[in-house]
Structure 1
């Protein structure tokens, strides 16, 4: 049996892939359901990986929107083609992944909080249940990483990130089905991105500033963020008018990363996975891709009888190569 700590993207994908192949996988997730205000973009590589694991492609398509291309700067800038990217609200992606895992026979135990563990034995608390192999996919604030590597803590990445969905029918004066980026690069760099089509209009902002208090994270009224966004991105007032005027709530978070360069080598019986091991700043745009690649690599290793510690060591090398 494989025990998985955390029922987010990586943990759910891994559980479903293992269960589909007949392996008993148990997931412990403290929240009754996994929610979030963010949206994300997955490319053709990720969709092939999910299909190989057995996630139904038609369900992924119905839960997402195709992206035709990317454009940085003004509407007249050259458009870069999409590499099979699709836009997902995180809740919609998690719904598809959870349905896949449950249909495959994974045992997902929502509302089950694990408050501590023994990294040498894999024993979980409360309860004292021993895990022969524990895959810790419990996110940037990983309990498992705290016990395995107490010195490797999550660090503020220097920006506050806001995600929002505008009111239905909002139509910016830009090309539809294209992800547009606008960057302000002086003393306090900022990025604004938006995407729209006939079904959805979303936008995000990354603002360089001090971190905000936890009480002001999560879903918040947009009103207190309008002026900071306008001040940080003075070049696009008319675009901001259209999108901000048609948005009521915004999801706010402090961008954080988990440094990987000084990580201890992976070792059994507890293996870190996804953001628990190597969370990257949202500006990298590959957090979900890395989480899914981790899950797929661990799934293949466990099905083939390979060492999961060696597998995650190789995955770490791949992530470091991405960072240059």
Structure 2
């Protein structure tokens, strides 16, 4: 029997929205969305075989159907960090009575999935990650500054619009203004941020012209949260950065799926993770960028392979 359910769980002063779909007795699969702040959407729910898997999604703190939305309670922003998101995930897991799950994520969701796995390895059956990143300082500086070498005209406009103070990075300036008390100025900053985002993804074969977000509230939510996390190295300081700790996942099934033409997040990041993570597999999709149908097909195949491996282990134990 398959079906869908949804609800909320209270965690750390927030109300976290969760939803499930598929077989309640199936292999649990956690899906972590991108952004930060992009919200779940619905397309992910139809990817996996509903008769075999129980897919669990949640709107991360401050966005989507979780409450409060960050722009409605800017005072809550200081408590919105990677550790809080990990605790929210754990609150959902306990609420649903799940002992272990396959952990998956796309884009920022891959960073969060890795951070979660490194902290709660005993809860992880395997990982399937797409459009892989670790939100390191090097990655953030590339996407906010370095990639301007490819789009110098757009980057000059983006940089000038940042309103930087002396010694301030572009991303820091936008983070300050988007979280500031002058909400008209924040709206101006959100529009400039959106224009840059829609530029640096424009070499993706699946790119469509136009803004990234047409909805004002959605645009503001993601701009606040992306810059909040990016300007602070995803709240993973030296000693906690994912690349330096990835060896701790040695032996854990891990699938890294990435588009060769992902200019915003070059394939060097999943390649380096793969080099340091024994038992991981790297799949590079030559004709796609930041996701696409072939990436999703590889993602589904990865989850299926993890589940098949679990079945073999169960058979051996029996």
Q: TM-score, normalised by structure 1?
A: 0.23
- Structure with more relative contact order (C-alpha pairs < 8 Å, separation 6 or more): 1
Larger radius of gyration: 1
Question: Which structure shows the bigger proportion of residues in helix conformation?
Answer: 2
